[in-house]
Amino acid sequence: MPKVGILACESVTNEMNCVMIGCLGNLRSRQGSFKDYPEEEPLDLVGIIHCGGCPTAVGTDRIWQKVQALVDYGIDSIHLSSCLVQLCPFKDAFIETIRKGYPDLKVVEGTHPFHDEEAFKTGVKELISQRVVTPQRMNDLVFKRIKLPPDEMEGS
Ligand code: SF4
């Protein structure tokens, strides 16, 4: 039974609240980047870990310990999530670091296909800039401009 791990982008999963529905759905249905595993063998998703977040511009060595955490459980392959493949400027450096540290580990680029890669990138751009709907921040509380739900307003 192939033992699989997934390495995902920290920003997408943590800041944008991605629940990895596309990655896990494709894994369950053996589609996308999971279609090449032998059909007769069930896939064992051992675990998911994140890159550790930017700034990765200072170096990609940190990825070693992230991958090691999955290697400890005997993974045969590691999939870089499709968001990481599409968005991360350090993708190739990550792959080089992983291959150097774990020459026996199969590295797969991606987990699921995108219907429209450009629309995905445009959407992510808005998610990180939040220009259309501005979320409230600590400064809104400090400057007493925070908006509260009606039931909270009644008691204040
Ligand atoms: S290093 Fe790449 S994968 Fe990690 S948070 Fe930054 S952009 Fe995302």
CATH of domain 3-155: 3.40.50
Identify the pLDDT of residue 155: 57
* Mean confidence (pLDDT) of the chain: 94
- CA–centroid distance, 109 to ligand 1, in Å, is 14
Residue 132 to residue 125: CA distance in whole angstroms: 11
Asked if pLDDT for residue 69 goes beyond 80, the answer is yes
pLDDT band at 156 (very low <50, low <70, confident <90, very high): low
Identify the pLDDT of residue 8: 98
- CA–centroid distance, 72 to ligand 1, in Å, is 23
Find the residues whose C-beta lies inside 6 A of ligand 1.
9-11, 51, 53-54, 56, 84, 87-88, 90
Percent of the chain with pLDDT strictly greater than 90: 83
Helices (H) and strands (E) in the chain, counts: 8, 4
Q: At 144, phi and psi to the nearest 5?
A: 55, 40
- Could you read off the pLDDT of 72-121 as tens digits, one per residue? 999 999 999 999 999 999 999 999 999 999 999 999 999 999 999 999 99
- Tell me the range of 3-7, 40-44, 62-66, 152-156 where mean pLDDT is highest: 3-7
Ligand 1 atom at shortest distance from the alpha carbon of 12? 8
Domain chopping of the chain, boundaries: 3-155
